[in-house]
């Protein structure tokens, strides 16, 4: 059986072997743009501009459930392997976990900055893997929604340049998954069982960009895309030193001991790449350990500040 949506209000069901069209399903009031068939192939979950998730029986087209997202836009959906739940990747940066039998949102997972553009579930049903406009792959424990790991597809310094889509393949049983990002890269990754080490964060004195500002791309080098500021863009430095939490993606001010250490390295002066000049033990200074003031998880700081890492005023 092949099921396809036509971007309007219709789903089409074909017999895969004969190529014969079995059914056209219309009138579910959703402008369907995407569908995912359940693991037992008895129902399909559809999303579209109708801004809800509709679960329909196959091949009858009978509506089994409607998951009300409250007007929130859903960009992608995935079934858990047991067919009991659907996870939805939302434009507001959240992942909702839906119980199909009750039709209710069981829990919400937060942490992405910007829209979540793709979501997958590991073969054992224990992990959710998501990517979004922030171009960070995150691995979640589906039992409690806790974040287990983050994978940055680029230097966080350039993250503001890549507010675009990213997509994933279904993870294989051995944990392999492929991540495609809109800068043209494919990342071949493997989920491993080791717990996440304390993640590194970089203190930044960011360049604040006004909402609605437009950047023009001039081309790119291998590791540093080159952008030009468009016209009429008011920008200014934020004199506060802040960092993005690698766990929850919320920007926070590191505690004073971190800044003391960074100042002690002299990394705030000179305009040279400080990481090349610092002795290797500078990274082990105990003053560089901190915790995010939002999610209270441990963070290890780099012993320098990055100047001019821009972020959007949101």
Residues of this chain that bind Zn ion (CB under 5 A): 245, 247-248, 292, 294-295
Cβ proximity of 88 and 74 under 8 Å: yes
Pick the closer one to Zn ion by CB: 78 or 243.
Answer: 243
Identity of the residue, 176 or 294, whose beta carbon is nearer to Zn ion in the bound complex: 294
Q: Shortest approach of Zn ion to residue 243 CB, angstroms? A: 10
Nearest distance from C-beta of residue 181 to Zn ion, angstroms = 23
CA distance 135 to 211: 20
Give which of 117, 210, 207, 123 is closest to 168, Cα–Cα: 117
DSSP-assigned letters across all residues of 187-201: EEEE--SSPPPPPEE
**Cβ nearer to Zn ion, comparing 245 with 282:** 245
By beta-carbon proximity to Zn ion, the closer residue of 31 and 300 is 300
Q: How far is the CB of 2 from Zn ion (least distance, A)?
A: 43
Q: How far apart are the C-alpha atoms of 177 and 284, rounded to whole Å?
A: 33
DSSP secondary structure, 217-272, as one string? EEEE-SS-EEEEE-SS--EEE--S-BEE-TTT--EEPPPHHHHHHHHHTTTTSSSS
Cβ proximity to Zn ion: between 105 and 250 the closer is 250
Smallest distance from Zn ion to CB 248, Å: 3
Alpha-carbon distance of 152 to 299, in angstroms, equals: 15
CB 251 → Zn ion: shortest distance, Å?
9
């Amino acid at each position: 059986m092949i099921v396809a949506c036509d971007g309007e209000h219709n789903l089409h069901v074909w017999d895969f072997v004969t190529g014969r069209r079995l059914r056209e399903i219309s009138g579910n009031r959703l402008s369907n743009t995407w569908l995912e068939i359940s693991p037992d192939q008895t129902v399909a979950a559809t999303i579209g501009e109708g801004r809800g998730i509709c679960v329909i029986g196959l091949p009858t087209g009978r509506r089994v459930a409607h998951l009300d997202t409250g007007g929130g836009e859903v960009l992608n959906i995935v079934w858990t392997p047991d067919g009991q739940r659907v996870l939805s990747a939302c434009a507001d940066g959240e992942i909702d976990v839906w119980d199909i039998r009750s039709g209710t949102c069981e829990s919400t997972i937060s942490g992405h900055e910007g829209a979540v553009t793709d979501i997958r579930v590991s073969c054992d049903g224990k992990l959710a893997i998501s990517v979004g406009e922030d171009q960070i792959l995150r691995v979640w424990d589906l039992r409690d929604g806790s974040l287990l790991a983050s994978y940055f597809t680029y230097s966080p310094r350039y993250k503001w340049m890549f507010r675009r889509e990213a997509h994933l393949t279904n993870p294989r049983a051995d944990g392999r998954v492929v991540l495609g990002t809109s800068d043209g890269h494919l990342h071949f990754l493997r989920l491993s069982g080791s717990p996440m080490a304390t993640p590194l964060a970089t203190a930044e004195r960011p360049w604040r960009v006004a909402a609605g500002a437009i950047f023009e791309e001039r081309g790119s080098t291998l590791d540093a895309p080159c952008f030009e500021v468009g016209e009429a863009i008011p920008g200014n430095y934020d004199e506060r030193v802040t960092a993005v939490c690698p766990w929850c993606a919320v920007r926070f001010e590191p505690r004073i001991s971190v800044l003391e250490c960074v100042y002690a390295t002299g990394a705030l002066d000179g305009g040279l790449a400080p990481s090349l000049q610092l002795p290797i033990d500078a990274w082990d200074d105990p003053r560089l350990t901190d915790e995010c003031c939002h999610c209270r998880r441990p963070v290890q700081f780099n012993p320098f500040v990055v100047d001019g890492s821009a972020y959007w005023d949101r």
